[in-house]
Amino acid sequence: MNASIQSRNGISRRGFLAGASAGSLVLMAKVTGGQEVVVVGATKANLESFDPDLFVSIAPDGMVSILAHRSEMGTGIRTSLPRVVADELEADWERVEIVQAIGDKRLGDQNTDGSNSIRFFFDRMRVAGATARTMLERAAANKWGVPVDQCKADNHRVVHSSSDRAIGFGELVSIASTLDVPAADELTMKPASKYRYIGKDTPITDMDDILTGKAIYGIDARMENQLFAVIARPPVVGGTVKSFDATEAKKIPGVVDVIEIPKFVGAPLFQPLGGVAVCADSTWAAWQGRDALDIQWDDGPNANYDTDEFAKTLAAAANQPGKAVRNHGDADKVLAESDNVVRADYSVPHLSHAPMETPCAVADVKTQGDKVVSCTVTAATQNPQAVQQAVGPALGMKPEDVIVNVTLLGSGFGRKSKPDYCVEAALLSRTIGRPVHVTWTREDDIHNDYFHTISHVHLEAAVDDDGKPNAWLARAAYPTIGSTFNPLAKEPAGFEVEMGLTDCPYDIPHLRVEVGQAAAHTRIGWLRSVAHIQQNFAVCSFADELAHHAGRDPYEHLLELLGEDRHLDLKAIGLSNRGASPTDYPYDIGRLKAVTRRAAEMADWQRGKQLPKGRGLGIACCRAFLGYTGHVVEVEVSQDGKLRIPKVWVALDAGLIVSPDRVRAQVEGAAIMATTQARYGKITFKNGRVQQSNYDDYSMVTMSDAPREIIVDVIDSKAAPAGVGETTVPSFAPALCNAIFAATGKRIRDLPLRDHDLSWS
């Protein structure tokens, strides 16, 4: 018996309008080509012709509904963006309902990835809220026959300043919905001093559902009459099914059908890996059936992938001249002529996202004869439009005709922006003629991820007696994320090297960054903070090495290395700055130094010199996703090499903050995720196969080996809102390893720490 649970998120865009009570004021907003926000009142007619970005609806009973079009995977975004609308609207948060959007390109960017949500949508949400507020104020002025400047919205009602009359939002809806929608230049935004919700904390909107087990994630999504599928995928990426025998699988009670899924064609993209699916009336029956399959595989072109061997290839590539991707001065000449050159090589292995909820999706495909007539997918996805774009072609449908409902995500970290699992569910549903829910087991997840790349970074610096580099050479070799989309892509892309190498903040006269060649032999994807992981591990560790080489204090040396307060010349360097304007989002060395100083101050950095052997402080800083982080990590390493991390201090400057407590939670979580990666993160391949399979051999830190205490200071800033989710990951691992050096004299250049003996005497 399968209870059919209606997803709370399963409300379509049209349904949102239709569901609004008769006579509601419904507003839609969009950004024009000139980046201006236009808001209009929604009627059924202009809904078809207008490209809406978001909806605000106010019902006659006063209930305000706000559409959340980004995915909730733990950042609190499903609460934070609607809070911005509600603030400008002067709505009472207790009378706001949040409605999760389906995938629809007319809503604008829905790819909840790249730490972009607040940056992209803060202004748009304010315009939407201010528009609705202005219309309500004008409606009150009309009703009372008084000047509009005497009518001010205040906590879900409009108040007349000279008579103390007040009227609720709901009572104004019928008049407001007859008014023209004000143009952008007629709006007055609230001053920051009047913010009701922006910068103030509230429990996330899903809190009570989460705490009582009612929250619906992708694994919980149900459709009437659905089957459950578990899939045997090729053990090597690019492999295919030679033959299979399903006799034993079909003997498992509950197994309904066994269906082959074809391998992707061309580049992996977001297509399924292929394999054999067992569909059954429960997850467990499908799982047992899958394990009972007898499959002969053709391993294909990646059958010999061996990461021990491949690491040597990468090291060789990073140690010979490569293609220059940033070059000023003549670093080669200065390095060649210097008699004080420091060199170091760093490596980070493949990593897996391993989100607590494995990839899961349910799809219902309806056909007439051979023709697909409809498809509805409900999934834990970071990007419902990518689901449409992947599922549509796979079924021969237009992407926009695929309906995608978004559940809560049991974390994502980038994995769930890649919807291969949704395509699997859709293909199976089409074949079997019933809704099919695909659950990835943990083993499936670890074996078949879009892995964080394996990398090698070589660094050289020609330094003076104070450890100040006159020349700097960085050379990176790793399979690029681009290879997942284009098999010919064989060197790090511009957007990748800009995460820690070409955006080097240090003040160095001669600087050169090169990339080497490396082909991919598995699917490479983006994982929280992406190429910053390996590149800032190298660069921030190397800065510490230069300090120790010259016998300097690493903190003082780091501030000198950062140089004078200034803005980097983004255009001259050729940095994309994530597409953000250099005016709103300069690369501000002063802000980077400020967070570094703040972290050092909180940690009482100077006491590090008095710590006994086995204890130490390490420092690192980084600008990532347009935000600035300073980290100090304290470690205790026992003589027999056991590592403890009693305390971490983090200063973050991410500009204006909407939800301070959620930002602090992201900073804490980033330190812990980075601890896992630094201590244990290592995926290896032999004979093309991933050698790890679950949390027993791909370990995560838990309560006992995570940092015990994480002190976070979020800088009070009026600067434009920057990224948060990924921003504070990169500088943690180098700060940790710098602390280990301070404690033990052991320099860690190859992660993870588990591979090293940290004992000392």
Partner 1 sequence: MTSINVNGKVHELGDVPDDTPLLWVLRDHLGLTGTKYGCGIAECGICTVHIDGDAIQSCITQLGEVGDSEITTIEGLSEDGSHPVQKAWKEHGVPQCGYCQVGQMMMAAAMLQSNNDPSDDDIDSEMWNICRCGTYPRIRAAIKSAAKEMQAK
Q: Which stretch binds partner 1 (CB under 8 A): 108-116, 166-174, 516-524, 662-670?
A: 662-670
CB nearer to partner 1: give 284 or 716. 284
Residues in the interface with partner 1 (CB under 8 A) total: 66
Which of 215, 324, 550, 611 is in the footprint of partner 1 by CB under 8 A?
A: 215
The answer to whether 704 contacts partner 1 (rule: CB under 8 A) is yes
- Cα–Cα distance for residue pair 44/206, rounded to 1 Å: 30
- Cα–Cα distance for residue pair 706/726, rounded to 1 Å: 18
Question: What residues pair up with 275 in beta bridges, in sequence order?
Answer: 261
CB nearer to partner 1: give 514 or 668. 668
Q: Considering the complex, what minimum distance in angstroms separates the CB of residue 492 from partner 1?
A: 27
Tokens of 471: 């020349």
CB nearer to partner 1: give 234 or 410. 410
- Cα–Cα distance for residue pair 85/121, rounded to 1 Å: 10
Tokens of 681: 């993160």
Q: Which stretch binds partner 1 (CB under 8 A): 303-311, 555-563, 618-626, 705-713?
A: 705-713
Which of 73, 158, 683, 719 is in the footprint of partner 1 by CB under 8 A?
A: 73
The answer to whether 642 contacts partner 1 (rule: CB under 8 A) is no
CB nearer to partner 1: give 115 or 358. 358
Q: Are 366 and 433 in contact (CB under 8 A)?
A: no
Which of 121, 169, 228, 310 is in the footprint of partner 1 by CB under 8 A?
A: 228
Q: Considering the complex, what minimum distance in angstroms separates the CB of residue 703 from partner 1?
A: 5
The answer to whether 208 contacts partner 1 (rule: CB under 8 A) is yes
The answer to whether 425 contacts partner 1 (rule: CB under 8 A) is no
CB nearer to partner 1: give 216 or 246. 216
Q: Which stretch binds partner 1 (CB under 8 A): 41-49, 547-555, 561-569, 668-676?
A: 668-676
Q: Considering the complex, what minimum distance in angstroms separates the CB of residue 723 from partner 1?
A: 16
The answer to whether 356 contacts partner 1 (rule: CB under 8 A) is yes
Which of 53, 109, 357, 514 is in the footprint of partner 1 by CB under 8 A?
A: 357
Q: How far is CA 690 from CA 337, 360, 447, 712, in A?
A: 45, 21, 5, 37
The answer to whether 488 contacts partner 1 (rule: CB under 8 A) is no
CB nearer to partner 1: give 389 or 411. 411
The answer to whether 245 contacts partner 1 (rule: CB under 8 A) is no
The answer to whether 665 contacts partner 1 (rule: CB under 8 A) is yes
Residues 157-176 that bind partner 1 (CB under 8 A): none
Integer Rg of the chain from CA: 28
Question: Burial of 579 by CB count in 10 Å (0-12 exposed, 13-18 middle, 19+ buried)?
Answer: exposed
User: In 449-580, where do the E strands start and end?
Assistant: 455-463, 469-477, 510-515
Q: Considering the complex, what minimum distance in angstroms separates the CB of residue 224 from partner 1?
A: 13
Residues 426-445 that bind partner 1 (CB under 8 A): 439, 441-442
Q: Are 421 and 356 in contact (CB under 8 A)?
A: no
Q: Are 326 and 513 in contact (CB under 8 A)?
A: yes
Q: Considering the complex, what minimum distance in angstroms separates the CB of residue 692 from partner 1?
A: 12
Angle subtended by helix axes 77-89 and 117-144, to nearest 10: 30
Q: How far is CA 295 from CA 149, 202, 250, in A?
A: 75, 52, 14
The answer to whether 358 contacts partner 1 (rule: CB under 8 A) is yes
CB nearer to partner 1: give 392 or 410. 410
Question: What residues pair up with 650 in beta bridges, in sequence order?
Answer: 631, 712
The answer to whether 752 contacts partner 1 (rule: CB under 8 A) is no
Q: Considering the complex, what minimum distance in angstroms separates the CB of residue 203 from partner 1?
A: 6
Q: Considering the complex, what minimum distance in angstroms separates the CB of residue 664 from partner 1?
A: 9
CB nearer to partner 1: give 140 or 354. 354
The answer to whether 224 contacts partner 1 (rule: CB under 8 A) is no
The answer to whether 638 contacts partner 1 (rule: CB under 8 A) is no
- Cα–Cα distance for residue pair 662/657, rounded to 1 Å: 10
- Cα–Cα distance for residue pair 84/122, rounded to 1 Å: 7
The answer to whether 214 contacts partner 1 (rule: CB under 8 A) is yes
The answer to whether 98 contacts partner 1 (rule: CB under 8 A) is no
Q: Considering the complex, what minimum distance in angstroms separates the CB of residue 313 from partner 1?
A: 31
Q: How far is CA 118 from CA 77, 185, 725, in A?
A: 8, 23, 11
Secondary structure of residue 595 in the 3-state scheme? helix
- Cα–Cα distance for residue pair 41/20, rounded to 1 Å: 13
Q: Considering the complex, what minimum distance in angstroms separates the CB of residue 527 from partner 1?
A: 12
Annotate 714-741 with three-state secondary structure. Answer: ECCCCCCCCCCCCCCCCCHHHHHHHHHH
The answer to whether 703 contacts partner 1 (rule: CB under 8 A) is yes
Question: Burial of 234 by CB count in 10 Å (0-12 exposed, 13-18 middle, 19+ buried)?
Answer: buried
Q: Considering the complex, what minimum distance in angstroms separates the CB of residue 556 from partner 1?
A: 30
- Cα–Cα distance for residue pair 510/472, rounded to 1 Å: 6
Instruction: For residue 194, count other CB atoms closer than 10 A to its CB.
Output: 11
Which of 161, 606, 687, 702 is in the footprint of partner 1 by CB under 8 A?
A: 702
**Of residues 338, 336, 345, the one with CA closest to residue 317:** 345
Which of 12, 374, 700, 746 is in the footprint of partner 1 by CB under 8 A?
A: 700
The answer to whether 671 contacts partner 1 (rule: CB under 8 A) is yes
- Cα–Cα distance for residue pair 345/282, rounded to 1 Å: 50
The answer to whether 256 contacts partner 1 (rule: CB under 8 A) is no
Question: Burial of 704 by CB count in 10 Å (0-12 exposed, 13-18 middle, 19+ buried)?
Answer: exposed
Which of 174, 240, 283, 684 is in the footprint of partner 1 by CB under 8 A?
A: 283
Which of 76, 234, 435, 618 is in the footprint of partner 1 by CB under 8 A?
A: 76
Which of 696, 718, 757, 761 is in the footprint of partner 1 by CB under 8 A?
A: 696
Which of 37, 151, 408, 737 is in the footprint of partner 1 by CB under 8 A?
A: 408
CB nearer to partner 1: give 513 or 672. 672
Angle subtended by helix axes 384-395 and 420-432, to nearest 10: 40
Which of 324, 694, 747, 750 is in the footprint of partner 1 by CB under 8 A?
A: 694
**Of residues 317, 303, 302, 310, the one with CA closest to residue 268:** 302
Q: Considering the complex, what minimum distance in angstroms separates the CB of residue 487 from partner 1?
A: 31
Task: Count the helix, strand and coil residues of the chain and give each as a percent rounded to the nearest 5.
Answer: 35, 25, 40
Q: Which stretch binds partner 1 (CB under 8 A): 183-191, 348-356, 481-489, 503-511?
A: 348-356
Angle subtended by helix axes 732-744 and 660-679, to nearest 10: 50
- Cα–Cα distance for residue pair 731/535, rounded to 1 Å: 10
Secondary structure of residue 277 in the 3-state scheme? strand
Q: Considering the complex, what minimum distance in angstroms separates the CB of residue 75 from partner 1?
A: 7
Q: Are 504 and 574 in contact (CB under 8 A)?
A: no
Contact string 707-726 vs partner 1 (x = CB under 8 A):
xxxx----------------
Residues 263-282 that bind partner 1 (CB under 8 A): 282
- Residues lying near partner 1 in the complex (CB under 8 A) are found at 1-3, 5, 72-76, 201, 203-204, 206-208, 210-217, 219-220, 228, 253, 282-284, 354-358, 408-413, 439, 441-442, 661-662, 665-666, 668-673, 694-696, 700, 702-704, 706-710
